[in-house]
Structure formats: C-alpha cells, structure tokens
Amino acid sequence: MFALVDCNNFYASCERVFQPQLENKPVVILSNNDGCVIARSNEAKALGIPMGAPAFQYKEVFAREKITVFSSNYPLYGDMSSRVMKILESYTPNIEIYSIDEAFLLFDGFDHFDLNAQGLAMKKQVQKWTGIPVSVGIAPTKALAKIANKIAKKYAAKTGGVYLMQTEEQRIKALKWTKTKDIWGIGRRHAKRLELQGVKTAYDFSNLPDTWIRKHMSVLELRLKKDLLGIPCIELDETQPAKKSIATTRSFQSSLYTFWEVEERIATYAVSCAEKLRQQKSSCTALLVFVRSNPHKKDNQQYRNSCVVTLPYATDSSITLAKYAAFGLKNIYKDGVDYKKAGVVLMGLSPSNEKQLNLFHGDQNKHDTLMQTIDKLHLRFGPHRIKLANQDLNKTWKMRQEHLSARFTTELSEVICINPEKKQ
C-alpha cells in the first residue's frame, strides 16, 4: 500500500507555527520579489483570492479583508519540510519526497498493520512535533493514494484527515468523484481533449481501452490507467534525480529601459544558474534567454520574446554561460520597451564527468579551476563576492521582501522571543 502525506497549506502553516495568532485567519504568501500570491490559507481561498493574484492589484483587498501577507521565507519552509520528512521516514524505509510538502510512503509487508491507525499516528506526531497539519491518503497505488489524500483533506471533519482506500467499492466511488482535470499526471491539454471525448471523471478514464490511450496519448497515461485500476504501475522514486533544467527568472523591482541594464541582469541570472549547475555537478549544452515587458501597463508597448542558444560544447563555466546569454539577449532585445522581467534557463543538462568534448574547441575546460576557486571563495566569504565585469558591482542582488517573517529555525538571532512580563 502507498500513502501520500501532504502538508495542508504548507507555507501558511509554517508561518502560523511561529505566529499562532494567525490560526483561522486568512494568510497569503507572495512569490520571490513579492510578485504574486503563491500560497493561501483556507480562509484566503474562501475570500476568493486566486492563485497567482498579482500583489499590487490585490493590495486593497488584502487590507480590507485583513489578510496577513508574507514574503516567501524559504529558509523557514525548507527547514520545516525536512523536519516533517524526517519524521515520516521513521514510519517506513521506502519514501519518495515528491515536493517540499508532499511525500509518498510505501508500506510493503504491513499487511497485518492497521494502516488507518498508522496514518492517524503519523498525522498526530507531525502535528505535535512540528506544528504542521498534514493529510494522509492510503491506497494500493500512487495515483489512488493521491485521490485518497484529496478525500482525506476535503472531508477532514469526517475522515480526521486520514483516508484509507481499501475496497473495490471505495475505489470506484473515489474515481467517479474525481474530475478528469484533477487526475494526477493528466495535463491541461490532455484533460481538455478527454473531456471533449466524454471522459468526465477518473472512472471514465480508467475504462478507456488500452489501445485508445496508447494511440492518442502515451505509455505514461497507460501506466496511469493501470494505477487507477489498482494495479501498481508507477513505482516509488526514492532517488532525487538531478534536475533536468535550471532556471533563474525574476521580475525587476522597477522597469529597465536600456540594453546595458537588461544585459547586467541577464549576466547575473546566468551566473546564478551556473552556480546551481556546478552544485549538482552538471554541465549544459543550451540555454534560453527570455525578456518580457510589463503586462500590467496595458498602454505601453507589449513585448515578449525568447531565444535558445546552442553552446558549442557542454559547459558549467559562469563566464561562458554569461557570454552566450548576453549573445542571446542581443538577438531579442528591442528598443523602447519597458522591460519588467527576464530569465535564463539552462537546458541539455548532463553530468559534468560525462560531457561530450568538442573536437574543434581546444580550450573548453579552461575555466574549471577558476570556477572551483570562485565557488570555494563564495563558500567561505558568502555569495556574490566575485562578479563578472558585465555584472553591476554595486547591485547587491536583493529581492523585494517587504513582508518577510523571521528565520525562526535557521538563525539564532531570529528565534521566537518570549515575553514572560505578561501581566495578569
């Protein structure tokens, strides 16, 4: 049996652990740079704040509805996540950390255990030890565990936050309850197409003939169908695979109008990507640069464009990547636009020790030692100490974080303050 453990409104819950007065109050968390809403408490959802709502447009709504707004505090969320995952690991050796707030657990050989009781125990322990509320869905396959989790969460009052899907009857009922677009692993495009075919629920999908799925979709969806039928086909992925692409994209704090300014940002993003790349010991063979104007200023010229640059050889050098990123920018840069966002995405990632050398470029590894030295210096003296010449030396890369909470668990100087002076 598989269990999917999912933290309820994880970011909002993390903030509430250290600010319990926000319990039962609406809370939203903004993306990097305080751009848009990326997480909401149930109360904020009930007030109709949509996911991705631009913060500046909703400023008055936040004030009127007394919604507490937070900048994203990833040091805090990361630490709380690792605490939750560590506790879950004590229940089974087979665990797949699926995202910052979700994990699949495989309960193999637990036939004589009361899995519902196990689920309740996990939930209780995580809640008590970390303060984070979780929902648990338990079912014979991963795709069904995902659905069981939704049921556990949706009907928390009845299920106590834990739902065990055991019988055939429960499975069919759950599949009929799940809309096609909500099936785990069915993308938006496929969902639309399936709905046009009259496939309205997961139950309809599980009844499609194998040949049809194979013809119109792929083997992945076929596996998904089997999984939904209760035949385990999607395995637990216990290894954390190296990332397939690495990206740094940011909205600028204010619009930029000159090539030089945008180039500076692009170079900085490329360097940041290169650092992430070296951290996972990979090299890349292509990169994508994109720029975008401010979509909220409808009167101004709207422009967005991107460009893929294929590199002559696989590399992890900040210098080479910044150079080609700037080259890509030259291709797409247009005068007279107020640029509000840009990004660099590295693609074609492969382990650095397996990289394919180019016969005609003799000096492709020439930055290796330099990069190692820079990485070591950053490790010792803090990040962003050494920059390339086309990066702005004065610009400390600071995100806008006007609503940041303290790093309660990772900074000794920011732990909760207790005030025993409280009078009676």
Partner 1 sequence: MNKTTENLIFFKPAEEKTHHIPLANTGVSAGFPSPADDFKELRISIDQEVVKNEEATFYARVAGQSMQGAGLDDGDLLVIDRSKEPLDNAIAVCFIDGEFTVKRLKVEAECVYLMAENPNYSPIKVTEDNELIIWGVVTYVVKKV
Q: Does 369 interact with partner 1 (rule: CB under 8 A)? A: no
User: Which of 74, 83, 182, 344 touches partner 1 by CB under 8 A?
Assistant: 83
Q: Could you give the CA distance from residue 159 to residue 120 in angstroms, rounded to a whole number?
A: 10
Q: How far is the CB of 287 from partner 1 (least distance, A)?
A: 35
Q: How many CA atoms lie within 13 A of 40 on its CB side?
A: 17
Contact between residue 137 and residue 147 where contact means Cβ atoms under 8 Å apart: yes
The DSSP string of 259-321 is: HHHHHHHHHHHHHHHHHHHHHTTEEEEEEEEEEEE-TT-TTSPP-EEEEEEEEEEEE--HHHH
How distant is the alpha carbon of residue 150 from its chain centre? Answer: 19
Q: How far is the CB of 184 from partner 1 (least distance, A)?
A: 28
Instruction: Output the CA torsion sign for 195, 204, 150, 237.
Output: negative
Q: Does 415 interact with partner 1 (rule: CB under 8 A)? A: yes
Q: Select from 190-198, 211-219, 251-259, 411-419 the region that touches partner 1 (CB under 8 A).
A: 411-419
- 299-302 contacts, C-beta under 8 A, 24 or more apart: 300/337, 300/338, 301/336, 301/337, 301/338
Q: Does 242 interact with partner 1 (rule: CB under 8 A)? A: no
Q: How far is the CB of 85 from partner 1 (least distance, A)?
A: 9
Q: How far is the CB of 5 from partner 1 (least distance, A)?
A: 14
Q: Select from 29-37, 228-236, 360-368, 415-423 the region that touches partner 1 (CB under 8 A).
A: 415-423
Q: Does 419 interact with partner 1 (rule: CB under 8 A)? A: yes
Beta strand pairing call for 27-30 and 339-347:
unpaired
Q: Which is nearer to partner 1, 90 or 358 (CB)?
A: 90
Q: Does 422 interact with partner 1 (rule: CB under 8 A)? A: yes
Q: Select from 122-130, 164-172, 175-183, 216-224 the region that touches partner 1 (CB under 8 A).
A: 122-130
User: Which of 46, 51, 63, 416 touches partner 1 by CB under 8 A?
Assistant: 416
Token pair 């848009």 in the structure block, residue: 36
Q: Does 131 interact with partner 1 (rule: CB under 8 A)? A: yes
Q: Which residues contact 182 (CB under 8 A, 6 or more apart)?
A: 150, 202
Q: Does 424 interact with partner 1 (rule: CB under 8 A)? A: yes
Beta strand pairing call for 339-347 and 350-351:
unpaired
Q: Which is nearer to partner 1, 240 or 424 (CB)?
A: 424
Q: Which is nearer to partner 1, 393 or 417 (CB)?
A: 417
Q: Does 77 interact with partner 1 (rule: CB under 8 A)? A: no
Q: Could you give the CA distance from residue 100 to residue 387 in angstroms, rounded to a whole number?
A: 31
Q: Select from 80-88, 146-154, 269-277, 395-403 the region that touches partner 1 (CB under 8 A).
A: 80-88
User: Which positions from 370 through 409 interact with partner 1, judged by CB under 8 A?
Assistant: 408-409
Question: Burial level of 306, CB count in 10 A (0-12/13-18/19+)?
Answer: middle
Q: How far is the CB of 412 from partner 1 (least distance, A)?
A: 5
Q: How is the beta sheet containing 68-71 ordered, strand by strand?
A: 37-40, 27-30, 68-71
Q: If we measure between CA atoms, which residue out of 112, 117, 156, 109 comes closest to residue 138?
A: 117
Which uninterrupted H or E stretch holds 344?
A: strand 339-347
User: Which of 21, 240, 356, 369 touches partner 1 by CB under 8 A?
Assistant: 21
Q: Does 239 interact with partner 1 (rule: CB under 8 A)? A: no
User: Which of 64, 86, 179, 192 touches partner 1 by CB under 8 A?
Assistant: 86
Q: Does 130 interact with partner 1 (rule: CB under 8 A)? A: yes
User: Which of 56, 74, 113, 129 touches partner 1 by CB under 8 A?
Assistant: 129
Q: Does 75 interact with partner 1 (rule: CB under 8 A)? A: no
User: Which of 66, 128, 189, 215 touches partner 1 by CB under 8 A?
Assistant: 128
Beta strand pairing call for 339-347 and 102-106:
unpaired
Q: Which residues contact 14 (CB under 8 A, 6 or more apart)?
A: 73, 76, 77, 80, 132
Q: How far is the CB of 106 from partner 1 (least distance, A)?
A: 21
Residues lying near partner 1 in the complex (CB under 8 A) are found at 20-21, 83, 86-87, 128-131, 408-409, 412, 415-424
